[in-house]
């Protein structure tokens, strides 16, 4: 958390802001641990005076394209952007030539920033290690089936592998598998081509609907435009012991590769060929 819909929501709000096209005049760093791969002085000196040309996203990553640099941002668990000061202590503050400010706040401190040149950005990690984006790119049944057949892990765990497809986390993996009527415990090499078709279909439907609703605000996700509302659409995530909306059997939660998986034991019965 945040996952693809939440990061897309943040992206759209940043694109609508008045920070694009203006030079960065000042950077204040309150928590230096967020900045990776470069010392703080170099980070500040290289960014100061640079102008944001555009902002892009792939999976859960945000990319700020500047004059000759790319600032990479991953929100991790609790990273947030705001255009005004708020109750959270900011970790980084970007001030622009037009006096607008962008605040990055991260209560748990897991978010990261990297700085790379535009020349080697696409061929370097992390970008080249990010799998196809479920909203921006076409993902074929053949591609996903091949990936799954090469693994021997629960399908729920496979959907979290960002090198296979990017953007899905715990929330949407549980929801996608519920709509696909697939047990999260089913091994990937037992997933049929028909089931792969369902996974792709419902991934796109669910993620797009969540984007339209500005993401899922469970725990503490907030975009610069406020909270999302997709949490009101959740069928299984965080609904342990509550009745399934389709069969009334209680939803169960089970640890799958050390991550919580929510599912209906009847609608998503584990069937192995």
State whether residue 117 is helix, strand or coil.
strand
- Bridge partners of 115, per DSSP, are 71
3 is catalytic: yes
Selecting among 3, 8, 175, 195, the annotated active-site residue is 3
Q: What are phi and psi of 7, to 5 degrees?
A: -70, -35
Q: Ramachandran region of residue 142, left (φ > 0), alpha (ψ -120 to 50) or beta? A: alpha
Does residue 28 carry a catalytic annotation? no
Is residue 142 among the annotated active site residues? no
Catalytic entry in 2, 132, 184, 224 = 2
Q: Which of 31, 181, 198, 259 is catalytic?
A: 259
Identified catalytic residue from 58, 60, 80, 239: 60
Angle (CA) 12-167-67 rounded to 5° is: 50
162-171 burial, b if ≥16 CB within 10 A, otherwise e? Answer: bebbbbbbbb
**Catalytic residue list contains 195:** no
**Under a CB-based contact definition with an 8 Å cutoff, are residues 187 and 154 in contact?**
yes
**Residue numbers annotated as active site:** 2-3, 60, 259
């Amino acid at each position: 958390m945040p996952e693809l819909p939440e990061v897309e929501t943040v992206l759209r709000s940043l694109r609508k802001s008045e920070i694009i096209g203006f030079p960065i005049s000042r950077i204040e760093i309150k928590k230096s641990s967020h900045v990776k791969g470069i010392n703080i002085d170099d980070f500040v000196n290289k960014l100061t005076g640079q102008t944001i040309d555009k902002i892009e996203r792939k999976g859960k990553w945000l990319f700020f394209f500047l004059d000759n640099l790319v600032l990479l941002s991953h929100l991790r668990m609790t990273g947030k952007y705001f255009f005004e000061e708020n109750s959270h202590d900011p970790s980084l503050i970007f001030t622009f030539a037009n006096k607008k400010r962008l605040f990055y706040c991260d209560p748990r401190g897991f978010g990261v920033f990297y700085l790379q040149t535009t020349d080697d950005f696409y061929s370097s990690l992390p970008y080249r290690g990010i799998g196809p984006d479920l909203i921006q790119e076409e993902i074929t049944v053949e591609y996903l089936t091949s990936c799954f057949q090469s693994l021997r892990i629960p399908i729920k765990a496979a959907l979290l592998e960002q090198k296979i497809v990017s953007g899905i986390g715990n929330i949407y993996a549980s929801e996608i598998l519920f709509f696909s009527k697939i047990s999260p415990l089913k091994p990937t090499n037992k997933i049929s081509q028909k089931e792969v078709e369902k996974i792709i279909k419902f991934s796109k439907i669910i993620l797009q609907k969540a984007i339209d609703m500005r993401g899922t605000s469970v725990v503490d996700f907030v975009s610069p435009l406020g909270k999302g509302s997709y949490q009101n659409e959740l069928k299984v995530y965080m609904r342990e012991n509550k009745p399934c909306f389709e069969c009334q059997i209680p939803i169960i939660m089970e640890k799958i590769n050390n991550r919580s998986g929510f599912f209906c034991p009847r609608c998503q019965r584990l069937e192995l060929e």
